[in-house]
Structure formats: structure tokens, C-alpha cells
Amino acid sequence: MTLDEIKSAESKLLLGTYDRNPLLFERGEGVYLETPDGARYLDLLSGIGVNALGYAHPAIEHAIAEQSRKLLHTSNLYYHQGQASLAARLTRITGLDRVFFANSGAEVNEAALKLARAYAGLRRSEGAPLGTKILALENSFHGRTMGAVAATWKDKYREPFAPVMPGVEFVRFNDVADLKAKFSTDVCAILLEVLQGEGGIQQLSQEFLTAARDLTRSTGALLIADEIQSGMGRTGRWCAYQHYGILPDAVTLAKPLAGGIPLGALVCSEEAARAIHAGMHGTTFGGGPLACAVAVAVIDAIESGHLLDHVTDIGTYFRNRLQQLARNHSAIVEVRGLGLMLAVELDSADLAKHVLAEMMKRRILINRTSETVLRFLPPFILEREHVDTAVSALSEILSEQPAVAAAPAGGTHHAR
């Protein structure tokens, strides 16, 4: 089928959850995606931070081929080789103790929320005063299920589905006084992204994360870091909290974990894990042999390829180039981010839309979040030449738009 035929078929057959870009991809290699007629696109979004090793990585191909010849699925009623091998790696790289596997980000956040409620229940049975309230942050994104979405900030994700899970309160981002005011023994967990993704690449302050750690430690509530987007090396460390010298009680991982095969992991402390016993929680598909084998291959490839150092180096180069660009273009309000989780905030949503469309015309894929923010989540194998290509294109697009900065707010002439 051609793109137009697919578009027309989907418009009649699918729920309208997505307003897709008019691009049809058939294959990928390295940092490039390719359409059926052979047009190559430089992918600086990598499937929303999933394809950390790019496309057609030999380690992933090999792991899939090998495992597909042996075993794809057994259910969690039996043992297979993959979960212990992967859990050994995940506990080593996160500094935590025990793992629960599921299939997506939302699903492991759901598991984390259930863990927090169960752990608070256990502590209450042991005489500690601990309630059921969850604190989340303004501009957070934790996923679309009824629990995860309850902890997600934007009304548009929650309101059509009300009532979502009750008991969540939102704290102003990086506002320690607000955190302290809302924290009490009623709270069983603080759920936060150390580096907010969907919220526009906003980084927690050391002061805020330290306060969250100290408060939760003082009552026994859990500090849960959602590193679904920022984890697995994207910021140059395995987890973004490792830049702060702080260890949460639980961390959730997903997007890049199995290099494009669906997999999520909740990793938690031995203490929190006391709350969970056989039969309380589960999943049919989670932690299957295929996903585990691929995730092991991804972690081993990141380590053998020294990709954490590479992400730091190339991320610093990319950020510096974007900062240079900002000095020459007043439409750039701010450049933010860590490693290869970067953002350029522009002074108007229309301009951001326009830049996105122009980048696409130049066969470079980026993304827009929080209206005015251009988001970059490229594969870890990115090289300087790719950064140079992207920054030149951005420079060209912003230079061609001298009228934009002066355009009236809400003007539509760029939304072609």
C-alpha cells in the first residue's frame, strides 16, 4: 500500500489517537530511517527515545535471531534464562536490589504506585503512620493508564477519563517550600522525573531532589524516580539521579531498555520489596525471553561500546552548538538538557511548528513538546557530522524567518 492508501485505510479503521506526520518508513540503519522510495531521514528522536542503538544494530539483530530460534514466551509461571541475567545488570547499574518486569512505561509506573501503596500498608501493619497519598510534580508525564495518568500533570490527559485514581497531589516544579508544605505522613510516595521529558526537558534542582529524599526518608514513604525517558544512559549516566548522588527507593525504566522491543522494569530496594509476595501483582507477557535477551544485548553493547562516555561527549558538543545557535537567533529562549536529552525553547509555538515542518522537509526528524520546545532524543550512536547537519539546518530555518520574532502573538502565518 502507498502512504495515501494507508492513510485512508487507517482513518476508517483505527481509533483516532494519533495525528501522524505524513511519512511512511520501511527500514532503518544507524541513525537513519528510510521510506519505501529510498529517501533517508536523519532521526534525532529515535522513536521517542527508544532506539538508543539506532536501527539495525547487529547486537540487537543477533539477540533477536538467536532467541527467536529458542523461545519467545513461557509466561511467568516457569523459569527462563533471561530475567535473572537482566536483573543482575539492572540492579548493578541502578544501585537498587530487586526487579519487576512489565511491557511498557505506564505499566511499570503502575507497578511502582502499587508498590508504594503496598509498602505503606505493610508499614502501617508494623505500627508506622503512613498514608496513601502520592505526590507528583507539575508538568509531569508518567503514562496513560488510570494510575499513571492520575500522576500526570496535563488536564487533557486526565479529564476525559475522570475519575482517575484518587489521592494524587501536584507539587510546583523545583519549589521546595511547596513540597514541604504538601508532604506529611499521609504521603506514601513522591513520584518524579529527575529530568522531565514531555514537560519540556526540565531538570530538577539538587536542592529539590535532596529535599524529596530527606522528606521521604524521614517517614518511610518511597521516593520513586521515573527514568523511563532519561534512563539507560541517555543523560550520560545510567540514570539521571546518578548526577545528583541520590539513590531513590525505586526507579522505573522502559523506552530504550530493549532497544525497540517492548519492555519495562521497576527496580526497587530490598526494603520496599518486602511488601510484595507471590500473587499480589503480575503480568502475562512482562519479562519474556525475547525482550530480556535483547535488553541484555543492549546493556552489553552500551558497555562494550563505551556509549555512556560517548553520550556525554557528543551531548556536550550538541549542546554547545545549540548554545552558539542561540547567540545568533533571538527566537531561541533557552537551550536545556543533559547528554542526549536536549531541548531548544523558542519564543512561539507557531515558530516551533514551522521549524519542525522545515526540518522534516530537510529530512531531519525532531519533535515538539510543551508547545514551544524542540526536543532532541537521538540514538546514542550519534556522531558530530549528524549534529552539524542538524544545527546548520536549524540555523538556515531560523535565518530565513526574520519576521517571526516580530510576528504578533498567536499569528498563524507560519503554521503551513
Ligand X SMILES: *Cc1c(COP(=O)(O)O)cnc(C)c1O
Q: Binding residues for ligand X, per CB under 6 A? A: 104-106, 109, 141-143, 193, 197-198, 226, 228-229, 254-255
Enter the C-alpha cell of residue 405: 520574532
Backbone angles phi, psi at 180, to 5 degrees: -65, -35
What sign does the CA torsion over 31, 33, 34, 39 have?
negative
Q: Could you tell me how far CA 324 lies from the centroid of its own chain?
A: 27
- The per-residue DSSP string of 341-358 comes to EEEEEES-HHHHHHHHHH
In whole angstroms, how close is the CB of 49 to ligand X at the nearest point?
7
Q: Which of 193, 251, 248, 215 has its CA nearest to residue 130?
A: 215
Enter the C-alpha cell of residue 61: 539483530
Within 10 angstroms of residue 323's Cβ, the number of other Cβ atoms is 13
Residue whose CB is less far from ligand X, 106 or 299: 106
Q: Where are the beta strands (DSSP E) in 24-118?
A: 27-29, 32-34, 40-43, 98-102
End-to-end CA, the chain? 27
Q: What span, in angstroms and rounded, lies between the C-alpha atoms of 269 and 96?
A: 5
Backbone angles phi, psi at 281, to 5 degrees: -150, 160
In whole angstroms, how close is the CB of 412 to ligand X at the nearest point?
30
Residue whose CB is less far from ligand X, 118 or 254: 254
Residue whose CB is less far from ligand X, 48 or 247: 48
Residue whose CB is less far from ligand X, 199 or 289: 199
In whole angstroms, how close is the CB of 199 to ligand X at the nearest point?
9
In whole angstroms, how close is the CB of 122 to ligand X at the nearest point?
26
In whole angstroms, how close is the CB of 225 to ligand X at the nearest point?
10
Residue whose CB is less far from ligand X, 112 or 351: 112
- Tell me which residue has its CB nearest to ligand X: 105
In whole angstroms, how close is the CB of 109 to ligand X at the nearest point?
6
In whole angstroms, how close is the CB of 198 to ligand X at the nearest point?
6
For the chain, the maximum distance between any two Cα atoms, rounded to a whole number of angstroms, is 66
Q: What span, in angstroms and rounded, lies between the C-alpha atoms of 375 and 201?
A: 8
Within 10 angstroms of residue 379's Cβ, the number of other Cβ atoms is 28
User: DSSP letter at 268?
Assistant: E
In whole angstroms, how close is the CB of 106 to ligand X at the nearest point?
3
Residue whose CB is less far from ligand X, 228 or 251: 228
In whole angstroms, how close is the CB of 105 to ligand X at the nearest point?
2
Q: What span, in angstroms and rounded, lies between the C-alpha atoms of 283 and 414?
A: 47
Q: Does residue 160 have a cis bond before it (omega within 30 degrees)?
A: no
Residue whose CB is less far from ligand X, 104 or 203: 104
In whole angstroms, how close is the CB of 33 to ligand X at the nearest point?
20
Enter the C-alpha cell of residue 329: 537567533
C-beta of residue 376 within 8 angstroms of C-beta of residue 342: yes
Enter the C-alpha cell of residue 105: 512505561
Residue whose CB is less far from ligand X, 229 or 367: 229
Enter the C-alpha cell of residue 143: 503514562
Q: Half-sphere exposure (CA, 13 Å, Cβ side) for 160?
A: 4
Residue whose CB is less far from ligand X, 249 or 350: 249
Residue whose CB is less far from ligand X, 32 or 244: 244
